[in-house]
């Protein structure tokens, strides 16, 4: 496997050239960005972050707003808040040096079992198994584990740990990631190119394509909300900051009702409106998918001569704010409908 990695390793911005010492800061930053996000999406963000903040100390001295701003578009914003909290914890509690083992890393904000193992292996060559969905797939095939996910997880984790070599655990972790991404793919794995083709039980049985067995997922529920697009005479639009805790915590949004499964009647929705005025329903809706639910937003628009207190920004100033994708979709929809 390591010989295969030496020949085929992907050249990714956070990877250390062979023979050089990895920088734990870059390893940590990339692993946080790569949680639930693809290599292709992460690469330009990684480059911008390290250009702006080349060390954990410089990132710790940035404001949370600056970090959220540069994170804009990567999604799962709790990661950005944890990233910032983690940088500060490393500086304040660990003298700006990352703990060098799984247990120490695990105590830091935003670092769970997978990420602690990945950093310990890649940055500190600890013999830790970083098991994500890709690795689960590879291992389920090599050992022909037919138990459905997620029940199979503990078994797959133990099997993965049994494979980690005593030397070059970090390269082994990244080799498995590359194998899962380029050869042992979810569908039509390219078994003929695989360094483990002779050892793989699922390939021997001809059913690699069917593993891991997925339990049937229930459909994500649909939630609904009504957004209030309120404009002042100078064109500025009313915005607000979401609560720090929870989904999109601390991010900017256009004010709205809460999100719930039951449809909103207009009267009911208006009790959440930021102003008593004549609201007009815009055509169409804005749709967005979160991990655990789908969201469908209706937009009501109005202009006001008596603007309430709040964050007001003209559309040309929107780029100065850390808008999550959902807010960008609302803005795009409202502006395109209103300019027609």
Name the residues annotated as catalytic.
31
Among residues 333, 170, 152, the alpha carbon closest in space to that of 254 is found at 333
Say whether 114 sits in a helix, a strand or coil. Answer: helix
Query: Cα separation of 80 and 251, whole Å?
Result: 11
Give Cα separations from 168 to 10, 23, 73 (angstroms): 17, 16, 34
Classify residue 247 by its DSSP letter.
T
Our CB check for ligand ADE shows the closer of 31 and 136 to be 31
Our CB check for ligand ADE shows the closer of 79 and 224 to be 79
Residue with tokens 């410089």: 58
* Residue 190, C-beta contacts closer than 8 angstroms, at least 6 positions apart: 182, 183
Residues that bind ligand ADE (CB under 6 A): 12, 30-31, 34, 39, 118, 174, 177
Residue 186, number of CB atoms within 10 A of its CB:
13
Query: Cα separation of 125 and 171, whole Å?
Result: 8
Q: How far is the CB of 185 from ligand ADE (least distance, A)?
A: 14
Our CB check for ligand ADE shows the closer of 86 and 326 to be 86
Q: How far is the CB of 30 from ligand ADE (least distance, A)?
A: 6
User: How is the chain split among helix, strand and coil, in percent rounded to 5?
Assistant: 45, 10, 45
Our CB check for ligand ADE shows the closer of 108 and 227 to be 108
Residue whose C-beta lies closest to ligand ADE: 34
DSSP 178-213: HHHHHTS-SSS--GGG-TTTTT-HHHHHT-GGG-SP
Q: How far is the CB of 65 from ligand ADE (least distance, A)?
A: 27
Q: How far is the CB of 35 from ligand ADE (least distance, A)?
A: 8
Our CB check for ligand ADE shows the closer of 29 and 142 to be 29
- Cβ(128)–Cβ(169) under 8 Å? yes
Classify residue 263 by its DSSP letter.
P
Three-state helix/strand/coil letters over 116-128 = HHHHHHHHHCCCC
Query: Cα separation of 179 and 4, whole Å?
Result: 9
* Residue 340, C-beta contacts closer than 8 angstroms, at least 6 positions apart: none
Q: How far is the CB of 132 from ligand ADE (least distance, A)?
A: 6
Q: How far is the CB of 262 from ligand ADE (least distance, A)?
A: 39
Our CB check for ligand ADE shows the closer of 133 and 221 to be 133
- Cβ(259)–Cβ(276) under 8 Å? no
Q: How far is the CB of 78 from ligand ADE (least distance, A)?
A: 18
Our CB check for ligand ADE shows the closer of 34 and 116 to be 34
């Amino acid at each position: 496997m390591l010989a295969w990695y030496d020949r085929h390793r992907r050249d990714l911005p956070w990877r250390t050239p062979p023979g050089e010492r990895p920088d734990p800061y870059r390893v940590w930053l990339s692993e946080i960005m790569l949680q639930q996000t693809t290599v292709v999406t992460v690469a330009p963000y990684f480059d911008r972050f390290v250009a702006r903040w080349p060390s954990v100390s410089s990132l710790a001295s940035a404001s949370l707003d600056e970090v959220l701003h540069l994170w804009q578009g990567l999604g799962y914003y709790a990661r950005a808040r944890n990233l910032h909290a983690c940088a500060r914890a490393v500086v304040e509690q660990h003298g700006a040096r990352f703990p060098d083992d799984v247990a120490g890393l695990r105590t830091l904000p935003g670092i769970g079992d997978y990420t602690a193992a990945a950093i310990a292996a890649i940055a500190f060559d600890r013999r830790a198994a970083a098991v994500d969905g890709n690795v689960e797939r590879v291992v389920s095939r090599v050992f022909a584990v037919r138990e459905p996910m997620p029940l199979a997880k503990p078994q797959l984790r133990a099997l993965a740990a049994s494979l980690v070599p005593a030397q070059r655990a970090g390269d082994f972790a990244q080799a498995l990631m590359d194998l899962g991404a380029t050869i042992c793919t979810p569908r039509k794995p390219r078994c003929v190119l695989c360094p483990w083709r002779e050892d793989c039980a699922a390939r021997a049985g001809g059913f690699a394509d069917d593993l891991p067995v997925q339990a049937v997922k229930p459909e994500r529920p649909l939630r609904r909300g009504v957004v209030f697009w309120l404009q002042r005479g100078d064109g500025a639009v009313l915005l607000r900051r979401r609560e720090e805790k929870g989904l999109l915590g601390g991010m900017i949004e256009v004010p709205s009702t809460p999100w719930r499964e039951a449809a909103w009647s207009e009267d009911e929705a208006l009790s959440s409106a930021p102003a008593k005025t004549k609201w007009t329903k815009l055509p169409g809706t804005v749709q967005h998918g979160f991990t655990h639910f789908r969201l469908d937003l209706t937009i009501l628009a109005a202009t006001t001569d008596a603007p309430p207190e709040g964050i007001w920004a003209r559309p040309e100033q929107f780029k100065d704010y850390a808008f999550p994708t959902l807010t960008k979709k609302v803005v795009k929809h409202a502006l395109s409908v209103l300019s027609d």
